Amino acid sequence: MYNEDEIRTIEEVGAISYRAVQMARGMVRPGVRLIDVAEKVEGFVRQSGFGLAFPLNLSINSEAAHYTPSMDDVREFSESDVVKVDFGAERDGFLGDCAACVDLSGSHGNLVEGVEAALGDALSMVRPGVTTGELGRAIARAIESNGGKPIRNLGGHGIGKHDLHSEPFVPNYDDGSGDALEEGMTVAIEPFATDGKGLVTDGDSCEIYQYIGPAQTRQPAARQVLGEVSKRYGNEPFAVRWLSGGAQSRFSLYAAILELVRAGALEPHPTLIETGNGSVAQAEATVIVESDGCRLLTK
């Protein structure tokens, strides 16, 4: 259980995370560059006195999650895009996590409505003793009633101190799990819907990594990157573009990261792609489980 000071910090982190997602949501328009949204919103959180739980995710269409702009990204939003905005702030190891969806195409309202309804239905059920399978059943029912498919290998999750994805896992369908919510848990409910096959797989691009631990490396550039990420970002995921301020060239930076992945020092988080190339919608909110329900943090 958290003490009063920790609860206050968790609520502040949740509130700034929500404000940041809403800021990004308002900036998602055709012709706007993804990198401009990411830099402004991440800068807003830092200037507000918080750290970043993870880089701003701006995943488009069949990209379900984990797309964040590269340091030289020229990509722009278009009128045909379904955009997922996923982000969270950090303070003293406490992490926020929330998401919203923007349908610029105007053609996937059923998917957006499905995940929003699923999120609302699941939140109304949260209390001690409710199982994750029961939450998944409600999520799937809302998504399917709006004509979509739940993504079966994505879902919500517990959040611990310096641990963005802890137990329990909250599926987007009834997987038969009897894992029960407990009072005091911090949980992110995270429905994903698609008009594709309902599964995601790793894509070819990767701009998000996470420090795992020390490793022996030969390249001076790799040692420099390892020292920077271990000192500045710790266990929280980081974007490659956050490291672009040094003297290294783009080639040497990515070569250093590849060596660190091979050495087991960094874990990659590649963009997740819907296997049927379907469009994907997402909604997410974080709560603390309380004795008679839950306290919404990302508001």
Residue range 238-291, pLDDT digits in tens? 999 999 655 578 899 999 999 999 999 999 999 999 999 999 999 999 999 999
The CATH number given to whatever domain includes residue 115 is: 3.90.230.10
241 lies in the same domain as 107: no
- Catalytic site residue 157? yes
Active site residue 121: no
- Do 239 and 141 lie in one domain? The reply is no
Q: Which amino acid is at 285?
A: A
Helix (H), strand (E) counts: the chain: 6, 18
With a cut of 60, say whether residue 4 has pLDDT above it: yes
Residues 69 and 114 in one domain: yes
86 assigned to some structural domain: yes
Say how far apart CA 228 and CA 90 lie, in whole Å: 18
Q: Residue 122: which of 179, 184, 191 has the closest Cα? A: 191
Q: Looking at the domain assignment, is residue 168 inside a domain? A: yes
- % pLDDT > 90, the chain: 95
Q: What is the total count of domains within the chain?
A: 2
Question: Are 166 and 222 members of one domain?
Answer: no
Residues 262 and 191 in one domain: no
> Which member of 11, 97, 207, 274 is catalytic?
97
Q: Do 169 and 232 touch, CB atoms closer than 8 A?
A: no
The pLDDT tens digits for 158-208 are 999 999 999 999 999 999 999 999 999 999 999 999 999 999 999 999 999
Question: Is 177 in the same domain as 252?
Answer: no
Q: 270 vs 40, 93, 155, 289, CA distance in Å?
A: 23, 24, 17, 31
Catalytic residue from among 79, 165, 182, 202: 165
Residue 202 placed within a domain:
no
Range of the domain at 128: 4-196+277-296
Exactly one of 11, 81, 86, 90 is catalytic; name it: 86
Residue 30: inside a domain = yes
Domain presence at residue 71? yes
Same domain, 288 and 157: yes
Options 121, 190, 195, 259, the catalytic residue: 190
Are 17 and 160 in a shared domain?
yes
* 247 in the same domain as 102: no
What mean pLDDT, rounded, does the chain reach?
96
Q: Which residue has the tokens 């949980």?
A: 187
Q: Report d(CA 138, CA 171) in Å as an integer.
A: 10
CATH of the domain at 264: 1.10.10.10
Quick one: tokens of 87?
A: 């982000």
In this structure, the answer to whether residues 147 and 83 fall within a common structural domain is yes
Percent of the chain beyond pLDDT 70? Answer: 98
108 is catalytic: no
Pair (151, 238) in one structural domain: no
Q: Which of 103, 157, 236, 274 is catalytic?
A: 157
97 is catalytic: yes
Q: Is residue 203 part of a domain?
A: no
Q: Tell me if 53 is assigned to some domain.
A: yes
Same domain membership, residue 243 and residue 189:
no
